[in-house]
Structure 1
Amino acid sequence: MLNDIKKDATTRMAKSVDGFRQELTKLRTGRATTALVDHLKVNYYGSDMPLSQVATVSVADARSLLITPWEKGMVAAVEKAILSSDLGLNPNTAGTAIRINLPPLTEERRKELSKHVHAEGENSKVAIRNIRRDAIQHVKELLKEKQVTEDDARRAEDEIQKLTDKHVKDVDDVVKAKEQELMAV
């Protein structure tokens, strides 16, 4: 029973860290990456489709993305999706291809993005701590129902705390790496 609680906590904490990493891929840093537009939805004949299912997205060079819709009629819809997104980018259409030039980040914008990364990291740490609280609560319930001994409960709580510390450190490492990436000129 205690092993199940620890496995569940480990899985949930790992998912929290992975979700945080995934969230950071949407942040625009100094260089172009296809992950920047992965979350965009395009109106495709009345239904919203992910951009990757209606167009080819590639990195043209360090500062630009090239989007090539599979159908000629989709160029306007893709352009509209990019303009209405929260990315703040201006697409340039040339026939059937759309080029997105990523301007260099200003120092002010880098600091703003760094603060955002720290805030998201803190949210992820809070989620991990909530998972720890839930796991320890389950252990205490088992102890209360006399299904485990006090020594086993104490040992399980210590192991859950070690898991929490490990995953919080992982989040800190991700924040530090992303911050270095943002501040690199």
Structure 2
Amino acid sequence: MKLATLALALLAPFALPAQAGTQFLVDFERTWDYGQAVDASYAASGVVFTNMLGLSNDPAFAPYYSNSPSPLGVGFVQLDGVSNTTAYMNVAEGVSGVLDFFYASPTAITGAIKAYSGLNGTGELLGVFDLAANTGAEYDSWTAASFAFAGKALSFDLSGAANVVAFDNFSALPEPGEVSLVLAALGGLAIARRRRS
């Protein structure tokens, strides 16, 4: 019994949602009408976009966006520089430390993504992420990226990636080390219980 209590005390910090921020996956996995805004399509996961379009990997776009991690669709920031000048991904509960995603870009982009402590690019700037060129005009090569920043971000400014970069599978998931620790502790509890039986 003492072992179980100790294990639960050690695991408690990893179970607190306030520390971890929200967990989500935005995979753009649906058939989008041409030019359809993503906006609140992922609001149930706590994620809302401004000026992000969904693009489908259907025969009309072939061979564009092939080989993307999610086969049905991708996201693309589109700004006209007049009425649409900024693009954001807001995460209601925030993201702590790391945002993972895939991207395809025919050119290198300095300052492609910026993490902020407030919604819609307000508050403290927590970090800036540059993207290297990784594909041709057909957007058929994809790179996994991890944007590490200091603190808890409520928004990501995607304006720097506008009209150039395709995105897929934005996610904020538990660190693999944390998952391994939780599984190891639960396994230890199971072994301890069996020995007592």
**TM-score using structure 1 length:** 0.27
State the structure with more CA Rg.
Answer: 1
Which structure is higher in helix share? 1
